[in-house]
Amino acid sequence: PPIIGLDGVRKTYRTGSLEFEALRGIDTAIREGEYVAVVGPSGSGKSTLMNILGCLDNPTAGSYLLAGEDVSTMSEAQLAEVRNRRIGFVFQQFNLLAGLPAWRNVELPLVYAGLPRQERRERAVAALERVGLADRTAHRPGELSGGQQQRVAVARALVAEPAIILADEPTGNLDSRSTADVLDLLDGLHDAGRTIVLITHEHDVAGRASRNLVIDDGRIVSDTPTARAGVPA
C-alpha cells in the first residue's frame, strides 16, 4: 500500500461569512521511497496541501491515509503525535531555536519521542555528521551560514528516521552553492530509500525529484515522472 493516500481531499477556509476552497478534490498516492515535487504558482494551494500532508491541519472533506492510518479526522493532539512520529520537516526559514547549539536543535524530535539523553546526543551528532557538520555541533544557528543552518534542519528532519521528509521551499533562502548542497543531501536521502515530498515553485528544483505533481487552483493538473525517474541509485 502507498505511504500517502489522498482521496477527495478538500480544504475550505472561512473568513467571516466568506468561504474559499483552497483544495478542490485532491486524489493521489505516493509510494514508499518516492521523491515527489509539488509545483505550482503562488496561491495554488501548495502550503495548504503541505499543512495537510504534514498533519498540521485537517482536510475539510476527503480522507488522508498516512502509513495505513486515517489521519483526516484526528484531533490536534493525535495529529501532533503522528507528526512527531512520522514526519521530518524542512522549512524555508530553517525554524531552528536560536538559543540552542546545533546538536540540541537536532535532538528535539528524539526528546518528543522520549529517548534517553545519551542516545539522543549520539544520534544528533551522527545526523550532523551525515550532513557534513561534524565540526559544528556546538555552534548556535547565529554562528552558522544560511546553508549550514538548513543542513542542521535537514539533520533534525532525519534524526528520528521518519516515514516522510516534507520540505517546504527548502532552498528559497539559499544562495546557489548552498542550494546545490541541500538538493544533494535530499538526493542522498532519496537514494537511501526515504520518501520525500518537496514543495517548490522553482522548476529546476522540482526537476531534481523523480515525479512532479503540478497543482493549480486547488487541483492536480498534471502528474508526471521527471527525467530523473528510474535513474539507478
Binding site for ligand ADP (CB under 6 A): 13, 15, 20, 22, 40, 42-48, 56, 83, 89, 91-93, 95, 168
Cα separation, 140 vs 101, in Å, equals 4
Paired sense of beta strands 35-39 and 87-91, if any: unpaired
CB 152, min distance to ligand ADP, A: 12
What the block records as the C-alpha cell of 104 is 540540541
CB 63, min distance to ligand ADP, A: 19
What the block records as the C-alpha cell of 125 is 551528532
**Residue type for 65, please?**
L
The residues, any chain, with a CB within 8 Å of residue 93's CB and separated by 6 or more, are: 173
What the block records as the C-alpha cell of 25 is 478534490
Nearest residue (CB) to ligand ADP, 60 versus 228: 60
Nearest residue (CB) to ligand ADP, 31 versus 203: 203
Q: With contact defined as beta carbons under 8 Å apart, do 156 and 111 qualify?
A: no
CB 2, min distance to ligand ADP, A: 23
Q: Kindly report the length of the chain.
A: 233
Nearest residue (CB) to ligand ADP, 98 versus 227: 98
What the block records as the C-alpha cell of 42 is 503562488
Q: Which residues pair with 223 in a beta bridge?
A: 213
Give the side-chain half-sphere CA count within 13 A for 128.
23
CB 91, min distance to ligand ADP, A: 4
* Radius of gyration in angstroms for the set of CA atoms belonging to the chain, rounded to a whole number: 18
Nearest residue (CB) to ligand ADP, 78 versus 229: 78
CB 173, min distance to ligand ADP, A: 10
What the block records as the C-alpha cell of 94 is 530553517
CB 115, min distance to ligand ADP, A: 17
Angle between helix axes 146-158 and 176-191 (nearest 10 degrees) is 20
